[in-house]
């Protein structure tokens, strides 16, 4: 069933079972599939050919970049670099940091935003948005030299939304920059570099209803243009001489998009961004919040399941992601039963956020879940109240 506010472009394709693992990979929507289908019979190389196929493909690729720039609220001069995914985008940014930059991160991050940084100051995961802002303020105030604060937009474990505007203001007050890992926020809410006054944003197409293989790093051009190319090779080089090392690197996105780019991935992602820009996202969000309330209230009535939260279950704004501690049970075994017996897909474990999950799995009542982790339910476009009820019914049978 699609929402009245949602065009058919955003219908998910290939339904057939209850998929509640959108945070790992969301299903593909119609407009992305159509964009790929339309391009298959006529694509050619991007930025490397004189023929009509090549010309049309170059145009489509650059159109996709322009749409993504609009989708992410890029300012004049910001760059949009196509990458493979969020992990790739954040690794690119890590490689582009000016020498001596300290990166400040919280332990609540996904590993993709915890591990790439060459010189990192790790702060304990905060227990409220205000504490996050205060901790960032202290850490950035204490340091000397260039700094980058990098933070998730919405937690891939709890779905809680981080105080991005406030963190951006703190970073800038101390002369630092801020990067937003929007892998989980962008599928659920508008993310704007200009609106947040953020410096960089990273996302993955496969979590944003496009198929695999394309992600984005968008933001300030200066660090990117000054950095060594992420992938040395054709496309990244403007001129190559006869001696080793005799090379002039391209500037702009091409500098970091060495090799033949992923045209289909970029175009599919651009098509989703265009469709979302045309959609009433506030209405989508309202529907998602209804489903979230239904899920969370149902979970409260379940025996043996405790919703985990970083910022406190009552207050925090969140997207359609909820993780449960199941004291005394193996969440991986419960997830397997949900799949095998009920045809319901969720995820269990530590979700590439080991420090955070270890901490959250030790909530009162959740003690003992430790290394086994949590059970995560996540949803988005195409999810219905029937899906949520099926999950709650199945969990009631398995945990009762």
- The 167-186 site mask, x for binding ligand PMP (CB under 6 A), equals --------------x-xx--
d(CA 304, CA 189): 32
Interior/surface letters 308-335, b for 16+ CB within 10 angstroms, e for the rest = bbbbebeebebbbbbbbbbeebebeebb
Shortest approach of ligand PMP to residue 181 CB, angstroms? 5
Q: Does 85 bind ligand PMP (CB under 6 A)?
A: yes
- Residues labelled as active-site residues: 352
Residues contacting ligand PMP: total by CB under 6 A: 15
Shortest approach of ligand PMP to residue 183 CB, angstroms? 4
Residues 191-210 that bind ligand PMP (CB under 6 A): 204, 206
Q: Whose CB is nearest to ligand PMP?
A: 156
d(CA 147, CA 97): 9
**Strand, coil or helix: 165:** helix
Who contacts 364 (Cβ-Cβ below 8 Å, separation ≥6)?
none
- CA 44 to each of CA 190, 230, 272: distance values in angstroms, whole numbers, following the listed order: 32, 24, 22
Residues 201-260 that bind ligand PMP (CB under 6 A): 204, 206
Shortest approach of ligand PMP to residue 212 CB, angstroms? 9
**Given 152, 262, 309, 390, the residue binding ligand PMP (CB under 6 A):** 152
The two tokens of residue 131 are 């504490």
Which span sits near ligand PMP by CB under 6 A: 85-93, 119-127, 269-277, 379-387? 85-93
> Of 111 and 174, which has the nearer Cβ to ligand PMP?
111
> Of 57 and 184, which has the nearer Cβ to ligand PMP?
184
d(CA 73, CA 179): 14
Pairing mode of beta strands 120-123, 147-152:
unpaired
Residues 269-288 that bind ligand PMP (CB under 6 A): none
- Is residue 320 within 8 A of residue 380, CB to CB? The reply is yes
Instruction: Note the residues at the interface with ligand PMP (CB under 6 A).
Output: 23, 85-87, 110, 112-113, 152, 156, 181, 183-184, 204, 206, 352
């Amino acid at each position: 069933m699609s929402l009245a506010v949602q065009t058919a472009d955003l219908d998910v394709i290939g339904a057939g079972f209850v998929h509640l693992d959108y945070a790992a990979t969301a299903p593909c929507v119609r407009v992305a599939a159509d964009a790929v289908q339309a391009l298959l019979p006529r694509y050619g190389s991007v930025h490397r050919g004189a023929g009509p196929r090549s010309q049309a493909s170059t145009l489509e690729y650059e159109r996709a970049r322009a749409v993504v720039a609009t989708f992410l609220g890029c300012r004049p001069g910001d760059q949009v670099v196509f990458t493979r995914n969020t992990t790739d985008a954040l690794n690119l940014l890590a490689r582009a940091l000016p020498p001596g930059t300290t990166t400040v991160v919280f332990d609540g991050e996904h590993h993709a935003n915890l591990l790439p940084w060459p010189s990192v100051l790790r702060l304990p995961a905060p227990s409220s948005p205000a504490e996050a802002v205060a901790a960032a303020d202290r850490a950035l105030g204490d340091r000397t030299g260039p700094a980058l604060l990098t933070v998730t937009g919405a937690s891939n474990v709890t779905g809680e939304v981080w105080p991005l505007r406030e963190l951006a203001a703190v970073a800038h007050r101390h002369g630092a920059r801020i990067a937003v890992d929007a892998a989980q926020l962008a599928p659920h809410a508008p993310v704007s570099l200009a609106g947040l006054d953020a410096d960089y944003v990273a996302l993955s197409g496969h979590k944003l209803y496009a198929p695999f293989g394309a992600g984005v790093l968008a933001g300030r051009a200066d660090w990117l243009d000054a950095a060594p190319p992420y992938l040395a090779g054709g496309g990244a080089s403007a001129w190559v001489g006869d001696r080793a090392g005799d090379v002039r690197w391209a500037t702009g996105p091409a500098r970091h998009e060495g090799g033949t780019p992923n045209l289909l991935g970029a175009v599919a992602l651009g098509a989703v961004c265009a469709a979302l820009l045309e959609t009433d996202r506030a209405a989508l969000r309202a529907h998602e919040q209804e489903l979230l309330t239904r899920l969370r209230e149902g979970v409260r009535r379940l025996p043996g399941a405790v919703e985990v939260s970083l910022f406190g279950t009552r207050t925090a704004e969140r997207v359609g992601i909820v993780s449960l501690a199941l004291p005394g049970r193996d969440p991986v075994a419960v997830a397997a039963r949900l799949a095998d017996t009920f045809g319901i897909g969720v995820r269990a474990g530590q979700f590439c956020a080991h420090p955070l999950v270890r901490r959250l799995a030790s909530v009162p009542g959740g003690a003992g879940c430790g290394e086994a982790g949590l059970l995560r339910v996540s949803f988005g476009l195409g999810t219905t109240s029937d899906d949520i009820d099926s999950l709650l019914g199945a969990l009631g049978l398995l945990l009762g």
